[in-house]
Chain A
């Protein structure tokens, strides 16, 4: 009996030693030498693997940083300046600073929902629907409403709004740009958050001629150019029947918002118009005068 046990123990022991030796040799032979700095950099990154930096994930970003030795052209949007500072410290290079940004959906939700012109019954994917036809709104440049952007967001920051056009939660948005890449119609743009989170943008991507665009959507930009004329900062350009506000020049004065005949220009983050007593129409006008002049100048890149 003891003999049997002894044999078993010996065999197992011998096997154990043998495997240990084999494992050691293999580990030595196939050892991957990696810069320990990569691990350290990867450690301070958010780890969401959102791909917003253009790399395959956080680890790939860390590898790129270490390989490059500095942070030129590399930026982790979700991490923002805090992470950039930490990475720069690890690499021993200058900190790359950037204006905080946010995703903006440039399609007017007022037209959709009830006013759709057909019923899309296929695969719930914008990328696919885009290859089939214009989409339910009838606008060949508008939002398709299947939520590819919602699925792409790693931060739960974009959701389908009541009208079938996505709405960005600016507090959660890290400007990683995943939604902008997922959108087959390139409706989503990363824009500067702006001073006091106040933003003005053209909420339309329609490049059709005025009359055709109006047929597609009552709130389409018709490229009339009134906004460009009224802009004090020359921030607005009109190309291909579509107006665009350069957010680096815009001072959020909102002159274009009132000028736009189709209400295609949206403003975000401004205080709501004072609650007006029903009969008096002056209240909103008074609100407009209130635009703080001091802020205008400060908004710079």
Chain B
């Protein structure tokens, strides 16, 4: 079975919401749509107070290169356009909408029929991805139209679909594979056409045998899609590691996947690509997992973007258990801890994960015993213990020389450290300092 070359850890998988079928979360009374739900500059709001909007109507327009369109997830009246605090308590530009009914744009095909034929040319596909505000749903929310516009002089040879879902707890991709395999495969075919690559590989970790079997069955009806079972090892789904596992190629330091002829797309993105291209439906919904060992029940939902964390919690489990220690958006390895539960969800949110008090708190930090476990766990072959010392002593130049910027922040170093040193935090801080230093030099 294929896997990446070095390092990696094996955290407890905890896929306890595997068997919960995707349910539809009802729409709330008021929606707050943030304008920067993607990597890059925020979209510019093009609606004003009092405007009537429909589901799927464009409300935030991408006016710069690194930006994505934002659409209304509900129908109703715009209440106001002003900043709203996001999940981390920081104010972001947003549009508040009072929900009235559920009136969709006429152009959106809401029939359940699966539409297989796609007659669009590659350029038209990319233009439509931009129009529909599609972003990568793997976590980085990179605008899709930029990713699928291959720069001059470069050629894509592989399309790799990341369905590894190596993060503990998350099951949304698994549920999509089980319930919408055909749509996903159509989405993959569309992306394959956009890139002009002969083959697309869907990488799935082998702890999902049902999904692998189901996908293998479905891809028989499609040309050039290959299901690739992968070894269960974190971070199997990290971009560079996945490319390495599937193709054996290595993305050099400071380069992009396209430099080795690869494009990696998340499985959820392929599903939204299908909906955008074939059904004219912009990215207005997330598929997310509500899970946690402390919760009375486990769920997978399809949620309109802009629904608040509190609404999701109230609908799924009523209220947070007394023993809640942490609420995380994403998995336990790379997800972000949420502080403001009144914040709306944004594109790319894949879970509301509740961690108990005992598990949430980090153990006390002790002296480094130079065991080298962080170094052996690092999938990039770096030396986290060294970065820790260099950053602490502000030796930023040296940290850069030791390739601190290669770090993918997967968290394997902290996970494996017996001294509980916050290595990943220190490296992130170091990376910021290195970037600031490089910016100052320019």
Q: Which residues of A contact B (CB under 8 A)?
A: 117-118, 121-123, 125, 127-128, 131-134, 138, 140, 208, 212
Interface hit among B126-134, B206-214, B399-407, B421-429: B421-429
List residues of B (336-361) whose CB comes within 8 Å of A's CBs. Answer: 336-337, 339, 360-361
For residue B432, CB closer than 8 A to chain A, the reply is yes
Check A131/B422 contact, CB under 8 A, given A121-B360, A140-B89, A140-B90.
Answer: no
Smallest CB separation, B377 vs chain A (Å): 18
CB–CB A134/B339 < 8 A? yes
Residues of B within 8 A of A125 (CB): 425-426, 429
- How many angstroms between the C-alpha atoms of A208 and B82 in the bound complex? 12
Given A127-B432, A128-B425, A121 and B361 touching (CB < 8 A)? yes
Interface centre among A117, A134, A212 (most CB of B within 10 A): A134
Residues on the A chain within 8 Å of B429, using CB? 123, 125, 127-128, 131
Residues of B contacting A: mostly: mixed
On chain A, the residues within 8 Å of B90 by CB distance are: 133-134, 140
Q: Which 7 A-B pairs have the closest CB atoms?
A: A134-B89, A123-B425, A133-B88, A123-B422, A128-B429, A118-B339, A122-B425
Establish whether residues B91 and A132, one from each chain, have CB atoms under 8 Å apart when the complex forms: no
Residues of chain A lying within 8 A (CB to CB) of residue B426:
123, 125, 128
The residues of B that contact A123 with a CB separation of less than 8 Å are 422, 425-426, 429
CA distance A138 to B89 in the complex (A): 7
Known: A122-B425, A125-B429. A134 touches B362 (CB 8 A): no
In the bound assembly, the distance between CA atoms of A208 and B90 in angstroms comes to 11
Cβ contacts B404-442/A at 8 Å (1 or 0 each): 000000000000000000100110110011000000000
Query: How far apart are the CA atoms of A121 and B365 in the complex, in Å?
Result: 11
B89 touches A133 (CB 8 A): yes
CA distance A132 to B433 in the complex (A): 15
The answer on a CB contact under 8 Å between B432 and A117 is: no
Distance of A153 from chain B, by nearest CB (Å): 14
Question: How many whole Å from B323's CB to the nearest CB in chain A?
Answer: 14
Give the residue name and chain of the A residue nearest to B425 (CB): A123
**Min C-beta distance of B91 to chain A, whole Å:** 7
> How far is A125 from B433 in the complex, measured between Cα atoms in Å?
13
Q: What are the residues of chain A within 8 A of B337 when measuring CB–CB?
A: 132-133
Cβ contacts A to B, 22 pairs, < 8 Å: A117-B339, A122-B362, A122-B425, A123-B429, A125-B426, A125-B429, A128-B428, A128-B429, A131-B428, A131-B429, A131-B432, A132-B88, A132-B336, A132-B337, A133-B88, A133-B89, A133-B90, A133-B339, A134-B90, A134-B339, A138-B89, A212-B91
A215 → B minimal CB distance (Å): 9
Instruction: Point out which of A117, A118, A123, A133 has the most chain B C-beta atoms below 10 A from its C-beta.
Output: A123
CB distance from B436 to the nearest CB of A (A): 10
Interface size on B, residues (CB 8 A): 17
In Å, the complex CA distance between A138 and B342 comes to 13
For the residues of A in contact with B, the DSSP-based class is loop
Q: Which residues on the A side are within 8 Å of B91 (C-beta)?
A: 140, 208, 212
Chain A nearest CB from B191 CB (Å) reads 33
CB distance from A154 to the nearest CB of B (A): 13
Report the minimum CB–CB distance from A187 to chain B (whole Å): 16
Report the separation of the CA atoms of residues A140 and B90 in the bound assembly, to the nearest whole angstrom.
Answer: 6
User: Could you tell me the distance in whole angstroms from the C-beta of A145 to the nearest C-beta in chain B?
Assistant: 15
The docked-state distance in angstroms from the alpha carbon of A128 to that of B362 is 16
Which residues from chain A contact B339 at a C-beta distance below 8 Å? 117-118, 133-134, 138
Contacts of A138 in B (CB 8 A): 89, 339
Which chain B residues border A133 with CB–CB below 8 Å?
A: 88-90, 337, 339
User: Of all chain B residues, which has the CB nearest A152?
Assistant: B394
**Interface residues as binary, B86-101 with A (CB distance below 8 Å gives 1, 0 otherwise):** 0011110000000000
Q: Which chain B residues border A117 with CB–CB below 8 Å?
A: 339
A132 to B428, CA, bound (A): 10
Produce 1/0 per residue, B288-323, CB < 8 A to A.
000000000000000000000000000000000000
Q: Which residue of B lies closest to A216 (CB)?
A: B89
Contacts of B433 in A (CB 8 A): 127
CA distance A113 to B89 in the complex (A): 18
> Which of the residues B89, B362, B428, B432 comes within 8 Å of A121, measured between beta carbons?
B362
Task: Report the minimum CB–CB distance from A80 to chain B (whole Å).
Answer: 26
B88 touches A134 (CB 8 A): yes
**How far apart are A291's CB and chain B's nearest CB, in angstroms?**
39
Contacts A121-B362, A131-B429, A132-B336 supplied; 14 other A-B pairs, CB < 8 Å: A117-B339, A123-B425, A125-B426, A127-B432, A128-B428, A128-B429, A128-B432, A133-B88, A133-B90, A134-B88, A134-B89, A134-B339, A138-B89, A138-B339
Q: How far is the CA of A118 from the CA of B88 in the complex (A)?
A: 11
A125 to B365, CA, bound (A): 14
Distance A131 CA – B91 CA, assembled complex (angstroms): 14
Q: How far is the CA of A138 from the CA of B361 in the complex (A)?
A: 20
Q: Tell me the complex Cα distance, A140–B429, Å.
A: 19
Q: Which single residue of chain B is at the shortest CB-CB distance from A122?
A: B425
Given known A-B contacts A117-B339, A128-B429, A133-B339, A122 and B422 have beta carbons under 8 A apart: yes
Q: How far is the CA of A260 from the CA of B337 in the complex (A)?
A: 36
Q: Which residues on A sit within 8 Å (CB–CB) of B360? A: 121
Q: Kindly name the residue among A118, A128, A131, A208 whose own CB sees the greatest number of chain B CB atoms within 10 A.
A: A128
Q: Which partner residue on chain A sits nearest B360 by CB separation?
A: A121
Residues facing A in B27-60 (CB within 8 A) are none
Residues of chain A with a CB closer than 8 A to B89's CB = 133-134, 138, 140
Assembled-state Cα–Cα distance A123/B428 (Å) = 10
How far is B86's CA from A134's CA once the two chains are assembled, in angstroms? 10
Residue of A nearest to B429 (CB): A128
Residues of B within 8 A of A128 (CB): 425-426, 428-429, 432
Residues of chain A with a CB closer than 8 A to B88's CB: 132-134
Shortest beta-carbon distance, B327 to chain A, in Å?
10
The complex places the Cα of A138 from the Cα of B90 at a distance, in Å, of 9
The closest CB in chain A to the CB of B362 belongs to: A121
Residues of A within 8 A of B432 (CB): 127-128, 131
